[in-house]
Chain A
């Protein structure tokens, strides 16, 4: 069955595959830019589109399913119909192909949908931790309502974890000291759980941050009852309901009442295999979000975009990037496109610290630190360079606002330090040059 959008409008209609942040942002921006043709959004989850950052923060903080603890919808339920956007939930796209000059997307329950313009925004999913040697006895670690490890990506995941955190606090094991793992650890610790975070790399947050910065993120972890163990890989595990036994070495096993896993994300691009699209750790795009196929764009976690500010061409998993890319795709569709040149930005909250970061960060950078009481601003430069390439702020949103400007202007470091002194006359300044890593 081929579903044709109202044929009079189908030549200009847009099909958005993916109903999360990027997908909804494309639709919103199209309407904002005056696009009147039909828009269809297809989403695999059954829930109305919602925001993901609160799932690992506010939603885990308490049992309350209201106010800040509730799932935050991206748009009110009637927004879609009010804006003539057809929303198909609980519908999964399973194939895409070019056919007679249009693009046809095959779905599992809604047949084929044919549109002149298609935007791929199917996001990413948590990487699953699996072990090759099957364990005798107990569960192999498949998550279901009865137990197993907790991954954290969907509202169902967050509600499941929140329910588990609501029982009498015990011991929680977290596999992976990335942002998801540490945020979950922070929420659990605050609720009285004793948390052990197991990280196989020598440092936490090693994928994204240099040593000094990562270390500063973890200030306060001990106060939350959270311990981070680096150089500690999980070799195997077994589950009985939510309870687990993690094998760390041949002689060391850690038992816990609850286990959360955060070991990275993989793009949801498997459904595009065989479509002819250029795929390489996600859907490869240019600076406007155009894929290798005419009439097809991609945005968000599933897409690989070049960024003119950093000069990189990678997949971005940040909230801000997804939204910016989505808006650029909509601009391109309506003929008003520009390339993506915004400085990358992300934020996190853990152990009582609000962390904000912008710019291109590598693990080898010179760090200049400005601090005043609990507030810290770190300005990062490539080794020996005179300009500020990135900035990370801790509990200092106002300083961060200014630093973000400096980074986008590629301001010289000494200028920024001067400006910082004016912003915060009592602050303490400290510079460190890159330490040689072993």
Chain B
């Protein structure tokens, strides 16, 4: 699976970091999310999916 970010939708809420801090970070200058691991391990699917679904701006998605 691959995580994709639509930067035009991202509002820097940081929900993704709270759910999966190993997979996401926030660029303090642009206030946009940073995907730390673009192709996460299958065993991390739970936290990654939780992070993607936690975004109020619906800026993240998982592409299989």
CB contacts (< 8 Å) of A347 on chain B: these are 13, 56
A401 contacts B56, C-beta separation under 8 Å: no
Contacting residues of chain A (338-375) with chain B, CB-CB under 8 angstroms: 345, 347, 354, 356
Q: How far is the CA of A356 from the CA of B31 in the complex (A)?
A: 14
For B18, give the chain A residue with the smallest CB separation.
Answer: A404
Question: Are A356 and B56 also in contact (CB < 8 A) when A397-B31, A401-B26 are?
Answer: no
Interface size on A, residues (CB 8 A): 14
CB contacts (< 8 Å) of A401 on chain B: these are 14-18, 21, 24, 26
For B25, give the chain A residue with the smallest CB separation.
Answer: A398
B18 contacts A398, C-beta separation under 8 Å: no
For A347, give the chain B residue with the smallest CB separation.
Answer: B13
Q: How far is the CA of A82 from the CA of B60 in the complex (A)?
A: 21
Q: How far is the CA of A347 from the CA of B12 in the complex (A)?
A: 11
B56 contacts A398, C-beta separation under 8 Å: no
CB contacts (< 8 Å) of B12 on chain A: these are 354, 397
Q: How far is the CA of A354 from the CA of B28 in the complex (A)?
A: 13
CB contacts (< 8 Å) of B14 on chain A: these are 356, 397-398, 400-401, 404
Q: How far is the CA of A402 from the CA of B17 in the complex (A)?
A: 7
Question: Are A397 and B26 also in contact (CB < 8 A) when A347-B13, A356-B14 are?
Answer: yes
Contacting residues of chain B (1-51) with chain A, CB-CB under 8 angstroms: 12-18, 21, 24-26, 28, 31
Q: A interface, by DSSP: helix, strand, loop or mixed?
A: helix
Q: How far is the CA of A319 from the CA of B58 in the complex (A)?
A: 14
Q: How far is the CA of A63 from the CA of B14 in the complex (A)?
A: 29
Interface string of A375-407 (1 = CB under 8 A from B): 000000000000000000000011011101100
Question: Are A402 and B56 also in contact (CB < 8 A) when A356-B14, A397-B12 are?
Answer: no
B31 contacts A405, C-beta separation under 8 Å: no
Q: How far is the CA of A232 from the CA of B25 in the complex (A)?
A: 44
CB contacts (< 8 Å) of B13 on chain A: these are 347, 356, 397
CB contacts (< 8 Å) of A400 on chain B: these are 14, 18
- Kindly state whether residue A107 has any CB partner on chain B within 8 Å: no
For A406, give the chain B residue with the smallest CB separation.
Answer: B18
- Kindly state whether residue A320 has any CB partner on chain B within 8 Å: yes
Distance from A249 Cβ to chain B, minimum over Cβ atoms (Å): 42
CB contacts (< 8 Å) of A320 on chain B: these are 56
CB contacts (< 8 Å) of A53 on chain B: these are 56
Q: How far is the CA of A320 from the CA of B13 in the complex (A)?
A: 12
For A354, give the chain B residue with the smallest CB separation.
Answer: B12
Q: How far is the CA of A400 from the CA of B18 in the complex (A)?
A: 8
CB contacts (< 8 Å) of B15 on chain A: these are 345, 401
Contacting residues of chain A (307-328) with chain B, CB-CB under 8 angstroms: 319-320
Contacting residues of chain A (131-173) with chain B, CB-CB under 8 angstroms: none
CB contacts (< 8 Å) of A356 on chain B: these are 13-14
Q: How far is the CA of A354 from the CA of B10 in the complex (A)?
A: 14
Q: How far is the CA of A401 from the CA of B54 in the complex (A)?
A: 12
CB contacts (< 8 Å) of B24 on chain A: these are 401
Q: What residues make up the interface of A, taking CB atoms closer than 8 Å to B? A: 53, 319-320, 345, 347, 354, 356, 397-398, 400-402, 404-405
Q: What residues make up the interface of B, taking CB atoms closer than 8 Å to A? A: 12-18, 21, 24-26, 28, 31, 56
Interface CB pairs A-B, < 8 A, 15: A53-B56, A320-B56, A397-B14, A397-B31, A398-B14, A398-B26, A398-B28, A400-B18, A401-B14, A401-B15, A401-B16, A401-B18, A401-B26, A402-B17, A404-B18
Minimum-distance CB pairs A-B, first 8: A401-B17, A397-B14, A401-B14, A404-B18, A398-B26, A401-B18, A397-B12, A397-B26
Give me 18 other A-B pairs in contact (C-beta within 8 A), A401-B16, A405-B18 excluded: A319-B56, A345-B15, A347-B13, A354-B12, A356-B13, A397-B12, A397-B13, A397-B17, A397-B26, A397-B31, A398-B17, A398-B25, A398-B26, A401-B14, A401-B24, A402-B21, A404-B14, A405-B21
